[in-house]
């Protein structure tokens, strides 16, 4: 499975805004966007031209892919699936992205970033409805229960995450039991319950060209 392996802070700088790809670091003075608020590369500081309509659409797609940690082929497959469903295509796309297991782990507060969530899922630290789940792209549904495996709960990593999760508030479509490191999907999210700062209509327009 392909994955992005370069410095993720460059992705935020390329989009010109914080994508919160490194958890708590993004809220600190170490954030690359705070220190270098220009596009990465040799000529980054000189690029100030106004983007075209296509450029705006492309950047919105790239930003969304980077936020959720999805590569091009998989993102396109998600869009096709969203387009085939009833309802508004752009909203369908965001709901599909939110349903990924790694995103749910992040939303529950069991990881400081989606990247960390993917790693923890890959390493087999989670159960989905009582069964081992180690595929970050697994799609959860309403009523599903996600929990940290018994053998992983006492590790230093999860004790740290447990302490951090106690101060985080999950979205209203999720329920979390911090003490037992367990979460439940109460329902699939509506658009106004998804706080990801993207304009999904621009993505729809891009794929409609």
Domain housing 106? 100-185
Residue 33's CATH number = 1.10.1050.10
Q: What is the pLDDT of residue 1?
A: 44
Same domain, 84 and 127: no
Q: Are strands 131-132 and 126-128 parallel, antiparallel or unpaired?
A: antiparallel
Same domain, 201 and 166: no
Same domain, 77 and 155: no
pLDDT at 156 over 70: yes
Quote the CA–CA distance of 54 and 203 in Å, as a whole number: 10
Rounded (5°) CA angle 115-116-118: 65
Q: What are 180-208's pLDDT values in tens digits?
A: 999 999 999 999 999 999 999 999 999 99
Same domain, 13 and 93: yes
Same domain, 71 and 142: no
Q: What is the pLDDT of residue 34?
A: 56
Instruction: Please indicate, yes or no, if residue 26 is contained in any of the structural domains.
Output: yes
Q: What are 167-176's pLDDT values in tens digits?
A: 889 999 999 9
Same domain, 14 and 92: yes
Instruction: Please indicate, yes or no, if residue 138 is contained in any of the structural domains.
Output: yes
Same domain, 126 and 141: yes
Same domain, 31 and 85: yes
Instruction: Please indicate, yes or no, if residue 163 is contained in any of the structural domains.
Output: yes
Instruction: Please indicate, yes or no, if residue 13 is contained in any of the structural domains.
Output: yes
Q: What are 17-46's pLDDT values in tens digits?
A: 656 565 565 555 655 555 565 566 555 565
Chain center to CA of 136: 11
Q: What is the pLDDT of residue 70?
A: 95
14 — pLDDT class (breaks 50, 70, 90) = low
Q: What are 82-115's pLDDT values in tens digits?
A: 999 999 999 999 999 999 999 999 999 999 999 9
Residue 156's CATH number = 3.10.290.10
Q: What is the pLDDT of residue 51?
A: 82
Q: What is the DSSP string of 123-152?
A: TT-EEETTEE---TTPBP-TT-EEEE-GGG
- Average pLDDT on 47-70 reads 89
Q: What is the pLDDT of residue 167?
A: 87
Same domain, 120 and 155: yes
Per the structure, how many domains does the chain have? Answer: 2
**Percentage of the chain with pLDDT > 70?**
77
pLDDT at 131 over 80: yes
Torsion angles phi and psi, residue 16, rounded to 5: 75, 20
- Average pLDDT on 134-138 reads 97
Same domain, 16 and 75: yes
Same domain, 203 and 163: no
């Amino acid at each position: 499975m392909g994955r992005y392996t370069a410095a993720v802070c460059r992705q935020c700088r390329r989009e010109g805004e914080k994508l919160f790809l490194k958890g708590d670091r993004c809220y600190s003075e170490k954030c690359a966007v705070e220190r270098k608020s220009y596009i990465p590369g040799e000529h980054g500081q000189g690029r100030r031209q106004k983007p075209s309509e296509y450029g705006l659409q492309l950047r919105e797609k790239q930003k969304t892919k980077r936020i959720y940690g999805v590569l091009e082929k998989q993102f396109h497959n998600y869009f096709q699936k969203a387009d085939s469903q009833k309802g508004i295509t752009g909203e369908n796309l965001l709901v599909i992205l939110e349903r990924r297991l790694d995103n749910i782990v992040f939303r529950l507060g069991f990881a400081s970033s989606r990247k960390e969530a993917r790693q923890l899922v890959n390493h087999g630290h989670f159960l989905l409805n009582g069964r081992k789940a180690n595929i970050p792209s697994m799609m959860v549904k309403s009523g599903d229960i996600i929990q940290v495996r018994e053998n992983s709960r006492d590790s230093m990593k999860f004790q740290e995450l447990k302490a951090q999760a106690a101060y985080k508030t999950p979205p209203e479509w999720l329920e979390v039991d911090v003490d037992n490191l367990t979460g439940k999907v109460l329902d699939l999210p509506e658009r106004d319950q998804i706080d990801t700062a993207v304009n999904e209509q621009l993505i729809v327009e891009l794929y409609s060209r």
